[in-house]
Every structure is written in C-alpha cells, then in structure tokens.
Structure 1
Amino acid sequence: MTAPLVSIVMPVFDDVTTIALALESALAQTLDDVEIICVDDASTDGTDAVIERFVARDDRVRLIRHEKNASAFQARRTGVLAARAEHLLFLDGDDELVPSAAQTALGLATSADADLVGFGVTIVEGDGRTGNAYERRLQPIHDELRGDDVLRGLFPIDKPAQGQLWRYLFRTSILRSAYAMLPEDLELPRINDLPLMFLVAGLAMSYVSMGDKLYRYHFGRGGSGHRVDSIERAEFYASAIRSIDSIRGAVDDLATAHTEAELLRASYESTRSSIIGYVCFQLVERSDADVLDMALAHLMSLAPAEDIIRAAARFYPVTLKTLKFHMPRPLLGTRPVRNVLLATSNLRTGGVSAVLTSQARYLTDAGYHVTVVARSAGSEPHAVPAGVDLVELTSRDLLGRLAEWRSICRDHDIDVVIDHQVLYTQYWPEFALAARAEGALTIGWIHNFVARPVLDGTDRLELIEACSKTLAHITVLSPLDAAYFRLRGIEHVSFAPNPPSPLLLDSLSHAPEKQAPGEKIRLVWWGRLEQRTKQVYELIEVGAQLRAQGASFSITVIGPDWDDVTARKFNARARQRGVADAVVAIGPLRGARLEAEIDAADAFVTTSLIEGYQLTIAEAQARGLPVFMYELPWLTLVQDNDGIVSVPQGDASGLARQIVRSTGTRETYLELSSASIANARRVLDRDYTRLYVDVLNGTPAHELSPSPTMDDARILLGLFSFYAARSHSGSSARPSAAPAELGIRLWSWAAPLGRQALQKLPGLRPLAHRAKGWLRAR
C-alpha cells in the first residue's frame, strides 16, 4: 500500500457530540492522499461507535483503542507511532480543519524542506463569534526560522509560551524523536501539547509559516474556559505545571548536544514560568470565591512561592492584586544584603523625606549601596545624599509602574526594599511582590501611629494586616504600634525610632543655656501648616486661653503652607479670635534663621492630634526648650521625659495653665530646660547604624519587639475609640457619639483587635464593653 502524504492524528475522548463534524472536516480535505488516525482514549459515551461508522464508510479512517484513559498526550503518541506519512497534522475531536489545510501546508513544507509549518487559526467562541484577542495572539509571527532561531522564535524568552500542536504541520520523524525522549508511560491530563511542542522546537532545524487560517478551534468545548468551581477542577488546571516539569530531564539531555545549550535552558525556564503564571491567572480569574483559597494553596504545593510570584509578575501582573492576600511571608537573613532600595513618593526636605535621607546616609556609611526610588515626580536634587542614586518612576498606569519597579530591582541588583509608603498608598503590596519576583524582599516602614487610618477613615490599616505576609518585616515607630500588630497576630514587627535630624545633631553639639522667661512668655512652633493631624489652629486657641488667663505671651508659628492651611488663613483666624498681635504665622525658615527664632523662644508648644515620631520635640529640647503639648502617649520621645508637660487632647485651657505655671518660677523652668537637653541626648545614644543593619538582616533586638501588655491593650482600645469618634466629628476634640450605623461599622472593623486582646488579656472585657457602648454598637 502506498504511504499517504499526510497523516491526520485525532486524539479523542468522550467527543460523541462533536467527533462527526471533526471527521467530516478531515475527510473533506482537497488532498485525497491522507490517512486519519483516531485514537480513542477509552471513551465511555459511544465516541468509538461513531468513528466505526466512518471507518466502514472510508478506508482512510483508522481507529485505535486505548484500554484505559491515558491522556491526550499518550493518545497522540499512539497516533504518531502509527502514522505512515512523512508529514502529520493534529486535529482534536471537537475542532475542524478547513478543506485546504493538508494540501496547503504540505505544499509549503515540501517547497521549503521544512521540519515545521505554521499556519493561522480561527478561534470560535461559544456564540459563534471569531476574531478575539486570543485568536490574534495565535497567528504566526515569523515567516521563516532556521537552526537555533526555531526555538528562539517559537518560544521567545520572557514572552507567554504558546505550544498548541494543532497550529503546525510536522515532519513525523521530529515528533517521534521528541516522544522518544520521554517516558513511555507519561500521562499529562492538562497542557499535554506544549511539552511535546517545546522539544520539537528544540530539535527542529527549519520552520516556515503562512497566514492562511487552516484550523478552527472551538473555545470552551474541551478543558479550557470553564469556571473553577471545585478543588478537583483547580487541581486539573494546576496539573499543567506537572506537564512542563515532566520534560526537564529531556531538556537537560537535549542540552548536552545542543549548539545553544544556555538558550535551551533559558527558554525552558521562561516557558515553565509562563505556564505557572498562566495557571495562576486562571485560578485567580476563574475560581469561585469559596474555592480560591484551596486552589492557590494547591498551586503552592506544586511550585515554590518564589516561582509563582516571579511568574505572575513577569507574565500576568494583574494577578498580583489577588496574590497579595495569599503568599507566604519571605524571610530576611537568607542571603547577604548589599544593595538597598528606599521607596518614597518624592524626595524633598522635611517629613518622611528627612527620615529617608538620614537613613540613606547611615546605610551608605555601613557599606550598602543605596538607591532611592520616587514614585512621583518633583524630587529636589539637593535632597539626595552623596553616593545615593535617585530614580523616578515615569509610567502612569499601575502595570507599567510595576514593570519599571521590577526593572529597577533587577538593574540595581536590589536585595532589600524599605518602603516608606505603606501607610500612604494602596498598591504597596503589588510593588512588594514585584520586587520579590526579582529576588528583593520588602520591609514596610510605617511613619505614623497605627490608628492614623482610623482617623482618616481609610482601609489602609486593614490592607496592611491583610497583606502583612507580603512584607519580610514591618517597622513601626513605637512599642505601642508593635503591640497592636502583635495583638493582631502579626509577629514580624519591631519598632525603630527615627534618626536624629541635622538640626538635632547640630543643636546638641552646642546646646545653649536657657534663661527663665521674663515678663513675656515667648513660645514657638515649627512644622508644616496642616490642620487635620497637626491641628495648627489649636495654637490660636491656646493663645486665646493664655490671654484669658492674663498672660503676656507670643506664639511664633513657622512653616510652609500646606493643603488646607496657609499663613494668610492662619493669621486671619488669629485676628478673628482676637490674638493676632500675639499669635503669628511667619512662613518657612531654614538654617541659621530658624535656629535664631528657636533660640529666641522660651518653650515649644505643640497641639498635634496624631504623630508617628515628632522629631521637632527632640529638636526643641536639644536647644533647651521645655515642651508643652497635647498627649500623644505612644511617642517614645515623651516617655520618661521630664522636659515635657502634657495635657489631654483638646484641653487648650489646661495647656495654657501649665505654660503659665511652669514658666512662672525660675527653678521650675530651669529644671524643665535641663531635663529637655538630657532627654534630647538620649536620642543620640542609640546606634542607628546597628539598628538598620539588624533590621535588614532580620535580627532586630529583642527589646524592639516587646510582647503586648495589659496596659498596651487598654491604651490601644481607648485610642482607637477616640480616633474613630474623631474621624466622624472632623473637628471637635470631644465629639458627641457617632450615629449608630457608623458606630456599628467602626466596631465591626475594630472588633478583631478587641477579640485578640481579650484572648490574651481577659481583664480588658469591661473596657471593651464600654468602647462598644461609646460607638453605639450594642
């Protein structure tokens, strides 16, 4: 019998509703000299009976039966080994070939003497539509490839891998060589074609293509496009990773004789990563809510978390928005740290930027190479410390910014990222995963008291808790912040006070000796003119209370205009309150002019509602100024600090009384001044270089991560209730109770903290009950 020119191999399983149409398309080929080999993989629905009718009708159709189901991978092997033609097409039992497929593809293969011929395909959706994005991605890209370029072109590194066998006409001998490299009993239930296609691309020496669409693929008829509504279906989707893993040994064997062994290995690793990313994408996008946790847990049993994150970031970064809730925490200290990235919004003077630049100096002095990355434009070049690189992100969309982030981490060989924005941006978890994809771990640095999101009415704290495992470590500014996270079951946290500012360092080198105030009390405040948290208008109220008590005083307010307050607005309000002659905002000052204004004052007064680490307190004390303030009990600067006098939040009258009383006698004032200088010096006692090195290595000192106490939980519950009420009121320091619906919502948000605290410290139950009453959540 003369051998056919083209063998059409059809692996089938339970295709009774579609097999006839597929066979009709094979028999309708304009090239008569074909054979059609149907390999029935132990169907149970009568598929074989349909094929038998075609066998009886046309002797070009052959039926080979498997006694047990062995996957389409084995069914194709059976068909390839049984094929008699030198060239071969694959046809699935639920798809179709166009009539000219065999003749057109064979003609090109013969004229070009090619091992592989690529052709176009049509993707038919369930409603009959064609031309979707998937179809566009499957069309041939290269007209011709030779030698190693076949692999390079068909499986490009860092591009999603496509390995559908039905897109090609093959030289049959290449397929047999590829199958010979794999175990005879290998079964691949999911993505069973790509592993074989990869080996074929590694073996083939020539490829040509045409744009003609010769194959009609019916999307959703087989195992693709379905919801993941059970763990069994999730396991089926995820088994694709076992499929690509199954050929690693064959790839290693092929590499020993391959002219481009490194290309082969790199292409395989990229393909494997692409498959992991694709599986992850499918599970994330298609899983029902009650299946997703189990599905991702199963995924992580098949591939290391690092591989999953890397694959997702490289090929399907949109999945990071879901993966951030599911990834296990990475561990610091597993490799040496040499290059550190400090992340911020933009680099300027003051605020978080001042902390970051100081941190950069300490790290640079410790021998690390530091790169500062600003997520927004507008950084001030003079703010960049010597020896530090500054990079600004330029992309506007999130996926573009994540790609930039990965590139920066890769190009600068970053080992650890310290992200100073975790309290201020919602996308930090995606950035942490993108960095991890390039081997860099992220430390989250929180720059305000942990209740700040409660005051702001945002979900930032919930996000930090829900995504805490994307961070290798969380650094906060006080023991009370650390206690909060520990009460919430988050253990990888420690506190680290902010480093001293240049003003503080300079001041302590020649701290002035203060004299007791004369008849007039001169008070000073500096910072940014901001009302929401710094409550600068409260300084006007303190002035009004000082006047009411008959004091002779002045309050000089120094700092730049901010979002909601300008010096002009401040002074206008002072006029309305009748204290414009004594309470004056003069705008920003720097350097010697700022120091002169501070030294001309007798005391520092501050009315902040919330702060993370108010460095101006230490700066004032370093120049001998007593500090008068509203209570901020978590601040490490105020603890055991005899140079500070504080009153409850909003008690302007009480603060005015304390100012008059404490500055009224020489002895009391000088005691406060002396205590201020002594406490400012404590800020310098800490070895900040050692502190940062320990954090980078995952070994913070034990005393910086204390276990929570009964007092911690009591204070936290009280503060959270206060800030929740303050968030609703917007202005009053002692607002009336929030409406019931708001109180219930806030309580439902804070209740997990209460439950954690009560489990460890049951004595807090009466306080928790009162807090629930304050919010009208009972």
Structure 2
Amino acid sequence: MAVIKVSIVVPVHNAGDYIERCAPSLLHQSIGRDAYEIIYVDDGSTDDSAARLDQLAARHPHVRVVRQENSGWPGKPRNVGVRTARGEYVQFVDQDDELTPEALERLHRLATRNASDIVLGKVVGTIQGPSSLFRRTVEHCTVEDTPLIESLTPHKMFRRAFLLDEEITFPEGPVRLEDQLFMARAYVRAKRVSILGDPCYVWNRRDDGGNTSSRATTPETYYGHLRTVVEAIKEGTEPGPLQDHLLRRSYRVELLRPVSEPRILKRTGSSRERYFDVVRRMALDCYPPGVRDGLPAITRLRAHLLEEGNLESLVELARRAQGIRPQVTVDDIRRCDDRLVITTTIGMLRSDGEPLTLVERYGRLLLDPDLLADIKGAEDWEVPHPLGDARGELLVHDVARNLWWYPDTDLAARTQPLGNGRHRVILTGETTIDPLTLAGGTEMPPGTHLVWASAQLLGVGRRAPLTGTPSCPAPFTAGTPPRLVHPAWGGPSGQLSLSVGHPGHISVPHRLFLHATAPPGVRRAARTVLRRLPKDVRGQVRTLARRADPWTAARRD
C-alpha cells in the first residue's frame, strides 16, 4: 500500500455548490492520487452537502467523508480530520477555497527536505492582499527570527505527529479567533518552519461576502477570546523581547483597530465608548510595558492615549492621521541589461500637503507639532528611534491572476534635514525588476503588471501606485524564447505598468485595453456588477473567467 504523504482536511457546513467549486483543485493534485487523501468532515449540514460529498467519494477513491453532529464552528471538524488522517502531513483547506495544481507536491517536498513542523505556502485569491512574508522561499526559520506571527490563518501544512505530540488542537464550538489561538500555540512550539514563495492557497471571497465562521459578536466576547490568544503566547514563551514581539502584533492590529481610523470615526456615542472601555481594560490587564514601548511613533502614541483614557484625543488623532498620504518620487528609471532599475524616494505628507516631520528640541526628536497641536496627552511626543520601524518596497501586481511579486529592493531609511531643526523620515534607493525571475524565480507571465510603492514610516503604513515623469525605457525583449516587455506610464493615475507578451503579440488595441482595465477601481466595479447579476448568469460569467484562468488547464471535475 502506498504511503500517504498528505491529508487534506476540509470542514464542511451547508457548503452547497462551493463543494464543486473547490473540489477540482483538490482532486487532481500533481503529487499523485496514491500519495494523498481528502477528508471532508461534514459538520451536520442541513442542505444537500452530504449528497454532494457522497457523490465525490463514490467517484474518487482518495476522498473520504466523515459526518458528525453540528458543532457550530470549523474547530471540531478540523480536529476530527487530524485524528482521522493517515498522512504524514495535514493541509487545512476551507470549503470555499482552492489549491493550486502543484501545491501539495511543492509544500511536501519543502517540508521533508527540512523536517519542518509547519510549511506556509503563498496565499493568493480575491481576499488576500500582498504579504512580504512570501517574498522568497525560506527553507527553515522559527518565530524568533521571522515575522511568522503576521500570518495567523491555519491554511497551512502541518506535520501530523507534531500536532498530536504537542497536543495542538482548535478550540471547539463557536470561539472567535480560533485560528489565531491554534497558530499561536503552534508557532511557539515549532522547531522548524518553512515558507514557500510560490502560490499555493487560493483564498476566495464568497458571493455573499461571508465565511464559515462569520457571525455577529460583541466587543466583550471578541476581546475575551483575544485574551485567550494572549495567554497562549505567554504560556509558550518567557517574559522578554520575544514575548513582547509576539504580543505586539495583537496589540497593534486587534486592540488598536477600534480606536484608530477609520473605525473610531465611524462609531459614535455609546458604541464608540463601549469599544474604548473594553480594549483599554485589556491593554492595562494583558500587555507588559515592553509591548507598547516597541511600537513605532504614532502607534505608540495611540497606545499611550488609550491606556491614559483619552478617548477624545484618539478621535482627533484619527481625524488627522487619516489624511496622511505617501509622497513617492521616481528619481530615475532605466534599463540595465534585461532588467529595469528604478530609483525612488518615499516620504509622508500631512493632509495639508506639508511633510510629516520630526522637530529637534534640546537634543530630542519630537513628532510633528503641527500634526499634534492641541491634542491632549500628545504634547512633545518623543521619537527616540525614528528609523527603527521604517521600511518600504516596490511591488508588482499581476493583474489577471491577482498575484503580488516582490522585486529586489534596496531602500534605506534616513532622516532628511528640512531646516530650522525640522527633519523628515524618507526611504530612498533602487529596485531591480528582472522579468526572467520576478515571478517566484520564473519568468513574468504574459499580461499587464502594475507597479506599486509601499512604505511604513513613523507608524503610518500606506500603499500607492508608482507614478512619475521620467521617460520609460523603450520596449525590450528578454529570455529564450524572447518575451517583449513594454514599460509605460498609463491609466488614470499615470501608473507604471509592464505589459509582457511574445514579440508581435501585444497589439496597440490590446495595450489600450490593458491600460483601461488595469486600474483597481475598474476591477472593483466589475466585481460589484458581477455580484448583482442573477445567479445563473453570474455562474456563466464565472465559468468563462475560469476558462481563462492559467491554472484551470490542470483541473478536472
């Protein structure tokens, strides 16, 4: 009997036709049918999901179906799947998502090569935005040397013995943040983690915008569950820099979210006060001082105002901070051999168009006094390490496939004197786009690719289209067989785009079409129109789109 290398575990509840949408990508993985199994755990579905699953199992010997009474959440079905699995590794997949055709083969190869406890595969799809965690394939790392804590969904590959030996399970029943709790426990115990920089998991937004665990909740319930995640990190680590680093993610993302723009500006009255009271109490109860002290300038100021109880100051800071925008200057763009080299400078501007600055007083650097004027509790806010969290990069977006790629970027942070004791933090340097290696070490596929700039400065994160005035290099060919690369400024914002195709295959009308349809606003409008179509028409349109999908050729029903 062949050794089962991987077990795919899919929790199912009233999935309907999402079963058929997801199944083809799972049934025909390149690793070979004898090397893996698919375990569907039906969590007491009341629609026709059971019949659909039985049909799949009858047609495909490597499909198994497990049934149980409804538990109300994906946690128990996943636990049952792990216990039932026969594979060396377990890959979790949600009922409305997909895998790329070679996902299991590549993930398992990386896992066995490094004896990994966890393998993260690059996530793509209609929900997932860019993540620098998947910039490159990483053979082995741990939570101590890599920002794994930024990826807390469980759609990963796990060594089954690791989960069983360490008794790492999902909480069962309706528990918010169950994914975070599971991943927090796993990360702090994993000896080796690997990251695959190639697309593996396709995370899809449902037609109704929901997911398998989307139910209304209260702030008391939600943050009560977040406390459990915090306690899990504390249980798995010693007090100190590592623990502070891991806890900083939940403080920055979940805890400060309701007291930052846009949410604090959308809520009013008792609703705003209720969230403020809940998160303030948790900040004071659960997080050591080192967590707050390690945050970047504006984020640390929010934490200070929260813990001091200054709700109105948080509201005013949010009003002013929401107007901060990036200033991206393209200093030069040139062709070097068969590569594009782009020199950029990135800074931040306040809503009035003036630079976001630091002011030097008595040997200290203080956060922009004009930004903080008359905000109680924010006076003379010191920024002892202005470059500590400064980072930025250029990104290339493959529009047709919704994939994000990270070219080689060397942007250095520095302070730029503006006179009269004023300084600004900027990022400056070169980015090299190699059409032959950009797409995960392989050639850029045909189509339109848009270039973006992303930066984190003083606790403000922004992404903007790369626009500029320097003349673009002429179209050129690269690789064997040759591919034509056509850089140009275009679209409503004048964004840099790279049109890639075989020589002679990019016609002038095609280029105009690509420029017209590439902007994100056009794509969002198309998705809105699609959601409003009748269900049968929407299905036909999706079928046509899937036929154009470069991965579809490897799928069979």
Pick the structure with more helix per residue: 1
TM-score normalised per structure 2:
0.49
Larger radius of gyration: 1
TM-score normalised per structure 1:
0.36
Pick the structure with more strand per residue: 2
